[in-house]
Amino acid sequence: MMTLHRRRRHLSAATVFAVLSVGIFSGSAQAQDKAAILLPGSANDQSWNALGYAIVKSLEPHGFTTAYSENVADADEAEAVRDYAGQGYSIVLGHSGRFVSAMQQVAPDFPKTQFIAVSGNEGAEPNVMSVDYNNAQFGCQVGLLAARMSKTHKVGGIYGLQGVPNITAQAGGFRVCAEKAGAQVTILYIKDMEDAAQAKEAAFSMIANGADVLTGKLNAAEAGLVQAAKEKQVYVTGRGFDQTAIAPDLVLTNIVEDWPSMIGSAADQVKQGKLFGTFVQYGYDTGKTTGASLKYSADKPFGPAVTQAVAKDVEAMAADFASGTLKIVPTEQDARSGS
């Protein structure tokens, strides 16, 4: 096992300077300037952990010198969290909800440090927070879109990490709103969010049973889902413009997450001396940022197959969420595997 200091990677020479300057400058001035993220995997995985790397890099324009540690094992989480907090990092992020427990353990010793779990769902006063976007709202929009675009009235969703709250929210939202719009819904869970081959096989099985619109929330495996849709010529939604490029005529939209905006909002307030001990969820009803958006490309929300009438209905749903006239809280039953 690699030792903690070998896992750590600094993103700026300024970090080295800051560490060497502990005895020269005050700890508070140093703490205001530094943010780090702990990654459960490799920063070069072109998937979830690469996103985490991009998140911490996005804090540099906010005035933070940044660093990261990759391949942080479960047993090392508390030590890694403590290591950064002990160096005066004012923000320590963990790239998934699994880091919350370690943060809760360490936080009482560092009351001026903001600990943030990316894509978590719980916090602890006064300085452990989780941040995510409202998966239920966007899952619901995709459910309506899928139902309206389906000719067979059968749609499917492929997910990983069954039972994780944000997965339950998105998969459950998809089912509730697709069924309300008249579609039969099947949901399948694969064991590995990174395994494109698994996702592709699951997609083929759904298509064989009549599903002609697919969605999902996966990491690297999302490409397998979209590739299956391309081979069988059915519609699909993705998580980014990479998926649009795979099947530009078949991708209807992507749920594009805006982590720089979500984390940046918290970071700006931490610099001003505010700390959070809650779960902060962004959506259509939260004002400054929605946390995510439906995007086919940088300048278009929907692909060429989506008619104006369908687009209008999906966008009207966003307005209803924003006004509070529509609310959705999916259950585990809504997100169940199968039909």
Claim to verify: residue 57 and residue 171 sit in the same structural domain: no
Range of the domain at 58: 4-118
Task: Give 222: exposed, middle or buried? Use CB within 10 Å, 0-12, 13-18, 19+.
Answer: buried
SS3 state of residue 275 = coil
Q: How many domains does the chain have?
A: 2
Q: Is residue 263 part of a domain?
A: no
Q: Which of 87, 100, 94 is nearest to 70 (CA)?
A: 94
Residue 94 shares a structural domain with residue 149: no
Taking the model in full, what pTM does it have?
Answer: 0.88
| Residue range 312-336, pLDDT digits in tens | 999 999 999 999 999 999 999 999 9
Q: Do 65 and 167 belong together in one domain?
A: no
Q: What band does 6 get if pLDDT is binned at 50, 70 and 90?
A: very low
Same domain? For 53 and 181 the reply is: no
- Whether residues 207 and 293 share a domain: the answer is yes
Determine, yes or no, domain membership for 331: no
Q: Is residue 284 part of a domain?
A: no
* 179 and 32 within one domain: no
Same domain, 150 and 85: no
Mean pLDDT of 290-297: 97
Residue 16 has pLDDT above 80, yes or no: no
Looking at residue 178, what DSSP letter applies?
H
Reply yes or no on whether the pLDDT at 282 is more than 60.
yes
Structural domain contains residue 213: yes
Burial letters for 168-192: b for 16+ Cβ neighbours within 10 Å, e otherwise? bbbbbbbbbbbeebebbbbbbbbee
Judged by DSSP in three states, 206 sits in helix
Assess whether 307 and 191 both reside in one domain. Answer: yes
Supply the CATH number for residue 184's domain: 3.40.50.2300
> What mean pLDDT is predicted for residues 121-150?
97
On whether both 113 and 191 belong to a single domain, the answer is: no
304 lies in the same domain as 188: yes
pLDDT at 142 over 60: yes
315 domain residue, yes or no:
yes
Q: Is residue 91 part of a domain?
A: yes
